[in-house]
């Protein structure tokens, strides 16, 4: 299990529904009392409703949240207050859809069915769509899909609704899911979880395509047989005959590589090195590795990086034609996965094999430097540790506020914004390194601090020489060396404005100077405006500008987010 995974990730559709229904007042409710409904906290909800009566949009959203929690005791209590009767009169009260999305809740769906709510196409599709799922989420998705299918939802039929007097025809569930599988997708920096989601969606979509989504679906072994293949992959079972038979019989050719990729991902994540190599040899013999390498969905080497595979695994994959330093379909490099997941050993192996940490990489839709990813992951892990630490309330409240809005504790190491003064291995927000936390958090913090120092030391070098001076410059730059002089003119003998530390960020003002060589380093002088300096307050460098030699920087297209 990756160290940074959040237990619940709301889908974009879920967020859109909530935001569309909320006023400024109820947005505050969503962040406070609404959380008790989301978490299924029956005792807290009883306290709230003893003081306030809900109605209209607020009741609708609260009941939707309660359904998504999976706590049937909570919805039973709300039913005793007449909420189901009220819900049936509200357009946006759709508990069946909310119980079916994100982490589908089979028991809640069954209870809602018993109370007269109907399975529908929207709920079926919601149950089938997954986002970075844990194992239990996949199993719940399959269970809820079977429930809706068993209740006569036809995934082959188009649905429609009326809007402003016009009939709007929507594609069938099967068409929507097929289009989703055939479209490019971003792994959000989580290679294994993304592969798991796409493979599960293939299995569900193929189930519908085979005409099995109908009465009697609950008895089907389609999903159980697939989950058995996953278990076999994790156990290191090199006999691929059952997997080959299942995939050939049940999965369309266009999607087979997605399933093969995921099963290989699970095997690559095996911690026992000998077992992992045995599985890779089996996949090589069965031509799975060759097919995967030619497919945009292939993430075998990425999962090896994020899960901490040994050098022998990477050597094997390189011999099979897998590049060590190329971005995948989501634009993410193996070095980025290893960095974000605190895999110091993998970082060193990749660097020693020629990976270039100066390359920018994608994280979600953003171009980021490897150093930015390291810093964000560190801030996120630091905040996660402090949230659980036994600190005085006055200290903790300030830290929680800082972490929630800057440390990314409400997001992920990939999406959170790093705390500027939180330098790896140093005191951060008044707490000495390492902070108190669980064993995994502290281990990851120490590994990330070591990774940061490793990059900072210059040991992770480009395979040849430094980036060519003729390469394109970009609007922003990050200092990748320590104690670099900011000069008053484009001349090494001009006045020194300041000595800048590793990690200083700049806005590039002028990059039109010719290339030259200084102390064997090829580059050009660029005029910059200082954007931020680690461990310094903004007042110390506001409006600071000067010239710097660009062989000491990484160019990046943006410093936000």
- In angstroms, the CA 424 to CA 401 distance is 20
- How high is the pLDDT of residue 561? 42
Band of residue 249 on the pLDDT scale cut at 50, 70, 90: very high
- How high is the pLDDT of residue 482? 80
Length of the chain in residues, anyone?
561
Check: CATH 2.30.30 for 476-556? yes
- In angstroms, the CA 462 to CA 356 distance is 5
Average pLDDT over residues 114-124: 97
Average pLDDT over residues 47-63: 96
Query: What would the pLDDT profile of 31-45 be if each residue is shown by its tens digit?
Result: 789 999 999 999 999
Contact 266, 230 (CB under 8 A): yes
Contact 447, 343 (CB under 8 A): yes
Query: What would the pLDDT profile of 423-466 be if each residue is shown by its tens digit?
Result: 889 888 788 898 888 899 999 999 999 999 898 887 886 544 44
User: What does the DSSP assignment read for 45-77?
Assistant: HHHHHTT----HHHHHHHHHHHHHHT-HHHHHH
Q: Determine how many CB atoms are found less than 10 A away from the CB of residue 123.
A: 29
Please work out, in degrees rounded to the nearest 5, the angle formed at the alpha carbon of residue 545 by the alpha carbons of 540 and 547. 130
- How high is the pLDDT of residue 27? 47
Closest CA to 70 of 29, 35, 103: 103
Model confidence at 148: pLDDT above 80: yes
Which of 2-16, 105-119, 152-166, 517-531 has the lowest average pLDDT? 2-16
Any bridge partners for residue 478, and if so which? 505, 554
User: What does the DSSP assignment read for 133-160?
Assistant: --HHHHHHHHHHHHHHHHTT--TTS-EE
Closest CA to 478 of 518, 531, 428, 410: 531
- Strands, DSSP E only, in 364-504? 366-368, 476-479, 484-487, 496-500
Which of 141-150, 238-247, 401-410 has the lowest average pLDDT? 401-410
Query: What would the pLDDT profile of 358-376 be if each residue is shown by its tens digit?
Result: 777 887 777 777 887 888 8
- How high is the pLDDT of residue 322? 96
From residue 416, how far is each of 77, 407, 410 by CA, in Å?
A: 37, 6, 8
Any bridge partners for residue 161, and if so which? 168
The token duo for 142 is 């399959």
User: 186: Cβ–Cβ under 8 A, 6 or more apart, which residues?
Assistant: 194, 330, 362, 364, 365
Closest CA to 556 of 479, 499, 474: 474
Query: What would the pLDDT profile of 195-217 be if each residue is shown by its tens digit?
Result: 999 999 999 999 999 999 999 99
Look at residue 87 and give its three-state secondary structure.
helix
Average pLDDT over residues 515-538: 86
Percent of the chain with pLDDT over 70: 89
Band of residue 78 on the pLDDT scale cut at 50, 70, 90: very high
Closest CA to 201 of 147, 148, 137: 137
Which of 104-118, 134-148, 165-179, 279-293 has the lowest average pLDDT? 165-179
Q: Share the mean pLDDT of the chain.
A: 87
For 329, counting Cβ atoms within 10 Å of its Cβ (0-12 exposed, 13-18 middle, 19+ buried), the class is middle
Percent of the chain with pLDDT over 90: 61
Q: Which CATH class is domain 1-118?
A: mainly alpha
Phi, psi of 419 (to 5 degrees): -80, 120
Band of residue 280 on the pLDDT scale cut at 50, 70, 90: very high
Ranges of CATH 1.25.40 domains, the chain: 1-118
Ranges of CATH 2.30.30 domains, the chain: 476-556
- How high is the pLDDT of residue 521? 79
Model confidence at 305: pLDDT above 50: yes
DSSP, res 423: -
Q: Which H or E run includes 508?
A: strand 505-510
Look at residue 358 and give its three-state secondary structure.
coil
Which of 126-130, 321-325, 402-406 has the lowest average pLDDT? 402-406
Q: How far is CA 181 from the centre of its chain?
A: 18
For 540, counting Cβ atoms within 10 Å of its Cβ (0-12 exposed, 13-18 middle, 19+ buried), the class is exposed
- How high is the pLDDT of residue 456? 81
- How high is the pLDDT of residue 405? 57
Band of residue 49 on the pLDDT scale cut at 50, 70, 90: very high
Please work out, in degrees rounded to the nearest 5, the angle formed at the alpha carbon of residue 171 by the alpha carbons of 166 and 173. 135
- How high is the pLDDT of residue 34? 92
Contact 130, 189 (CB under 8 A): no
- How high is the pLDDT of residue 417? 53
Please work out, in degrees rounded to the nearest 5, the angle formed at the alpha carbon of residue 162 by the alpha carbons of 158 and 166. 105
The more confident residue out of 1 and 513 is: 513
The more confident residue out of 211 and 514 is: 211
- In angstroms, the CA 191 to CA 5 distance is 12
Model confidence at 393: pLDDT above 70: yes
Look at residue 525 and give its three-state secondary structure.
strand
The token duo for 230 is 């996953």
- How high is the pLDDT of residue 362? 81
Model confidence at 473: pLDDT above 50: yes
User: 7: Cβ–Cβ under 8 A, 6 or more apart, which residues?
Assistant: 134
Helices (H), 182-299: 191-209, 222-234, 241-250, 253-268, 273-285, 288-293
Model confidence at 21: pLDDT above 50: no
The token duo for 70 is 């999976």
The more confident residue out of 130 and 417 is: 130
Band of residue 3 on the pLDDT scale cut at 50, 70, 90: very low
Average pLDDT over residues 515-542: 86
Closest CA to 235 of 198, 261, 266: 266
Phi, psi of 326 (to 5 degrees): -110, 145
User: 26: Cβ–Cβ under 8 A, 6 or more apart, which residues?
Assistant: 57, 58, 61
CA quadruple 195, 201, 204, 210: dihedral positive or negative?
A: negative
CA quadruple 410, 414, 415, 420: dihedral positive or negative?
A: positive
From residue 90, how far is each of 56, 59, 87 by CA, in Å?
A: 7, 9, 5
């Amino acid at each position: 299990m990756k160290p940074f995974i959040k237990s619940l990730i709301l889908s974009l559709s879920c967020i859109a529904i909530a935001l569309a229904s909320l006023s400024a007042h109820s947005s505050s409710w969503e962040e406070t009392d609404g959380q008790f409904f989301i978490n299924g906290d029956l005792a807290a909800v009883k306290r709230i409703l003893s003081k306030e009566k809900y109605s209209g949009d607020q009741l609708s959203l609260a009941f939707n949240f309660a359904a998504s929690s999976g706590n049937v005791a909570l919805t039973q209590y709300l039913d005793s207050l007449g909420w189901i009767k009220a819900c049936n009169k509200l357009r946006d009260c759709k508990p069946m859809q909310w119980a079916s999305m994100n982490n589908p809740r089979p028991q809640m769906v069954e209870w809602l069915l018993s109370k007269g709510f109907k399975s529908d196409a929207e709920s079926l599709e919601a149950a089938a769509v997954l986002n970075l799922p844990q194992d239990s989420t996949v199993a719940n998705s399959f269970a809820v899909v079977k429930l809706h299918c068993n209740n006569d939802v036809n995934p082959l039929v188009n649905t429609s609704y009326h809007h402003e007097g016009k009939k709007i025809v929507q594609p069938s569930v099967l068409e929507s899911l097929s289009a989703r599988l055939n479209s490019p997708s971003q792994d959000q920096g989580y290679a294994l979880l993304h592969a798991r989601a796409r493979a599960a969606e293939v299995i569900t979509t193929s189930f519908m395509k085979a005409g099995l989504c109908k009465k009697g679906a609950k008895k089907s072994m389609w999903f159980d047989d697939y989950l058995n293949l996953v278990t076999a992959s994790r156990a290191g079972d090199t006999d691929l005959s059952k997997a080959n038979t299942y995939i050939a019989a049940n999965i369309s050719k266009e999607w087979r590589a997605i399933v093969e990729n995921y099963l290989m991902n699970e095997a690559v994540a095996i911690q026992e090195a000998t077992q992992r190599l045995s599985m890779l040899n089996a996949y090589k013999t069965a031509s799975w590795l060759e097919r995967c390498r030619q497919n945009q969905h292939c993430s075998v080497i990425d999962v090896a990086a994020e899960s901490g595979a040994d050098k022998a695994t990477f050597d094997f994959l390189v011999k099979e034609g897998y590049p060590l330093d190329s971005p995948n379909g989501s634009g993410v490099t193996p070095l980025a996965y290893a960095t974000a997941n605190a895999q110091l050993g993998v970082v060193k192996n990749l660097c020693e094999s020629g990976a270039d940490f100066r390359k920018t990489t994608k994280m979600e839709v953003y171009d980021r430097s490897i150093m930015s990813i390291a810093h964000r992951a560190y801030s996120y892990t630091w905040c996660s540790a402090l949230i659980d630490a036994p600190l005085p309330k006055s200290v903790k409240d300030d830290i929680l506020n800082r972490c929630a809005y800057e440390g990314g504790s409400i997001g992920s190491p990939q999406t959170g914004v790093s705390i500027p003064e939180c330098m790896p291995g140093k005191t951060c927000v008044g707490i000495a390194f390492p902070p108190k936390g669980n064993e995994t958090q502290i281990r990851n913090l120490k590994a990330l601090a070591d990774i940061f120092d490793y990059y900072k030391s210059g040991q992770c070098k480009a395979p040849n020489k430094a980036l060519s001076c003729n390469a394109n410059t970009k609007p922003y730059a990050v200092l990748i060396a320590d104690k670099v002089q900011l000069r008053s003119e484009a001349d090494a003998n001009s006045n020194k404005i300041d000595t800048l530390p590793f990690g200083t960020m700049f806005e590039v003002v002028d990059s039109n100077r010719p290339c030259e060589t200084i102390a064997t380093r090829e580059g050009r002088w660029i005029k910059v405006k200082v954007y931020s300096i680690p461990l310094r307050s903004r007042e110390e460098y506001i409006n600071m500008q000067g010239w710097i030699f660009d062989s000491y920087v990484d160019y990046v297209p943006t410093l936000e987010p």
